[in-house]
Amino acid sequence: MLIKKIFFTLSIFGFLFFGCESENSGGESRTATPGTTSQSLDFTLKTYDGKDFSLSEHLGKRVILLDFWATWCPPCRKGIPDLVELQKEFGNDLVVVGISLDDASTIKEVAPFVKEYKINYPVVIGNEAVSRQYGGIQAIPTTVLIDKNGKIVDTMVGLSPISKYRQMIKAAI
């Protein structure tokens, strides 16, 4: 019993500091390259409620913060309220896009999760192609910041403080 408690405690600390390993990722470990332009960044995915979402509607018009996450990931869950706050704070200058990497066993949890956390930004259902498009997502949360010119300016793996996001968004605007 003590060993299970120790393992659980160490696992939680590992999640908080290093993120969760993505079950949908594959291939080599790398991230989206800063400076990548909008031509290779566009995608169209279904939202959690079945509507089409195209990133091209936002590329080159506002700062975009892509958040690769899943409902089962503790650091992802912890970071969602910060993303909700950032979307409120920056309004039309920013669009946060949640890209759920939940698999078939947890995808049904996305809609209730969005409601429970009062997510105020688009949430789409990701796939392997989009994961590869952004460098092969190896751990979540992974956040990609795209500036108003449609270029990747940074990629962060793991949970980051809201102050870091705020600073980067201001610089990208």
pLDDT at 121: 98
- CATH numbers and ranges of domains, the chain: 2-172 (3.40.30.10)
Mean of the pLDDT values across residues 57-82?
Answer: 96
Decide: 169 and 86 in contact? Cβ < 8 Å: yes
pLDDT band at 8 (very low <50, low <70, confident <90, very high): very low
Average per-residue pLDDT for the chain: 83
**CA-to-CA distance for 72 and 76, rounded, in angstroms?**
8
pLDDT tens per residue, range 91-123? 999 999 999 999 999 999 999 999 999 999 999
pLDDT tens per residue, range 127-156? 999 999 998 999 999 999 999 999 999 999
- The number of helix segments (H) and strand segments (E) in the chain equals 5, 9
3-state secondary structure of 37: coil
> Closest by alpha carbon to 156, among 56, 10, 18?
18
pLDDT at 40: 79
Q: Is the pLDDT assigned to residue 28 strictly greater than 80?
A: no
**CA-to-CA distance for 50 and 139, rounded, in angstroms?**
26
Structure tokens, 58 = 């936002």
CA 30 to chain centre: 15
- List the Cα angle 122/135/43 in 5-degree steps: 40
pTM of the model: 0.80
CB atoms within 10 A of CB 150: 20
Specify which residues 124 forms β-bridges with. 47, 99
Share of the chain above pLDDT 90, in %: 74
